[in-house]
Structure 1
Amino acid sequence: MFILTNPDWLENDGYPFWSLWDNVRTWWEIRNLPNVLFVHFGNLKTDMPGEIRRIADFIETPVDESKWEEILLHCSFDYMKANAAKSVPLGGAFWEGGAETFIHKGINGRWRDVLSAADSAKYEQRAVAELGDECAHWLATGDLS
């Protein structure tokens, strides 16, 4: 995990790819456009069937009920993990250990086992400073209200 091998992970925003803050901020700025739908990993974990139906409604695509179970299977963490090379950008070439490294455990809150309380507080302060209260709240919770 990059955070474990780089104690300056928060200051080196984006290394070795792109800035997390810029990426989230630019999408946040256009969140109200009619062709943009925000989907949060936590909400997918909590209610994947509901989120898939919400996405289908957004793109005005009817769900073929005869394929519903197959859709749920192919969107599941277990399926993506078993088919990681097909599920991860560039087959996982960016990650040491490949695609299986990118698709690791599929659980929320793992950062609690990695970050100290001081690092967590530092991250939360930086998120608010970079993104503002509302966006930082969405990023942490998936709640757009």
Structure 2
Amino acid sequence: MPLAHILQHYKAAMAVAHRPNVTQLHYTDISRDLAGTFATLASELGITHDPALMAQLVQAATFDNMKTHAARFVPSGGKGFMKSDAAFFHSGTSGKWRGQLTDAELAAYDAGMDAALGPDDRAWLEYGSGGTAQG
């Protein structure tokens, strides 16, 4: 997907971020604290569950569980649409581009990001609420 499409999607989401029925989630933040993400969403939605049920829900939403049960969670899962449903859940990590791009490609990316976003938006888009690379 071209960078321009990602930036357009981000800007469209930011345009409605102030609405009470919109919650922004970043994959890095969810990965870092899945249980905390569940607690935040439950609170925002006014939902309460027994702690044991919440623990089950969090476990069901883990990357490893979704990969193990890929046919259930992948779009068109179990229908042969993909060569491997489990491969849809590649690694569950961010930043796999590191070491893959040339200096010229990185410079073009940096220029495009700097032209399109301020530092705070760029930090959130690239790294989540922490705003910096997490190793």
TM-score range for the pair, normalised by the shorter chain length: 0.7 to 0.9
Q: Give the alignment partner of residue 9 of structure 2, picking from 7, 16, 23.
A: 23
* 2:122 aligned residue: 136
State the shift of 1:114 in Å: 2.5
CA distance in 2, matches of 1:144, 1:106: 18
Paired residue type of 1:124: D
Paired residue type of 1:41: Y
Paired residue type of 2:101: L
* 2:100 aligned residue: 114
- Normalising by structure 1, we get a TM-score of 0.74
Paired residue type of 2:97: W
Paired residue type of 2:85: A
* 2:45 aligned residue: 59
Paired residue type of 2:56: E
* 1:105 aligned residue: 91
The percent identity for this pair of structures is 26
Paired residue type of 2:36: G
The one-character-per-residue Cα deviations of 1:85-144 (angstroms, maximum 9, x if unpaired) are 322233398x85353332100012211143234323322332332344332221112128
Give the RMSD, CA atoms, in angstroms: 2.7
Instruction: State the number of aligned residues.
Output: 130
Contact persistence 1:91–1:98 (CA under 8 A): no
CA distance in 2, matches of 1:122, 1:65: 48
Q: Give the alignment partner of residue 70 of structure 1, picking from 32, 53, 56.
A: 56
CA distance in 2, matches of 1:92, 1:134: 41
CA distance in 2, matches of 1:129, 1:86: 40
Contact persistence 1:74–1:80 (CA under 8 A): yes
Paired residue type of 1:105: S
- Give the direction of change, closer, same or farther, for the CA distance of 1:82–1:29 in structure 2 (3 Å limit): same
* 1:4 aligned residue: none
Gaps of 5+ in 2: none
